[in-house]
Amino acid sequence: MANGGSRKSVIKRIYVPTYVRQLPNGERVTVPGHYRKPTHT
């Protein structure tokens, strides 16, 4: 195989695209696209 980057299942940053979030009180919030760290459970 080519000696490129190691394709392990380690994600440093994940990109969250723009989406509309529905709050429990019926309000909608538009969340712009951004990077965030993956949540480690």
pLDDT score of 1: 46
pLDDT score of 35: 87
Instruction: State how far the Cα of 21 lies from the Cα of 35, in Å rounded to an integer.
Output: 17
Please tell me the number of Cα atoms within 13 Å of 34 on its side-chain side. Answer: 6
Task: Give the start-end residues of each E strand in the chain.
Answer: 14-16, 19-22, 28-31, 34-36
- pTM value is 0.44
pLDDT score of 38: 74
pLDDT score of 29: 93
User: Tell me: the pLDDT tens digits for 1-41?
Assistant: 455 555 566 667 888 899 999 999 999 999 899 888 877 66
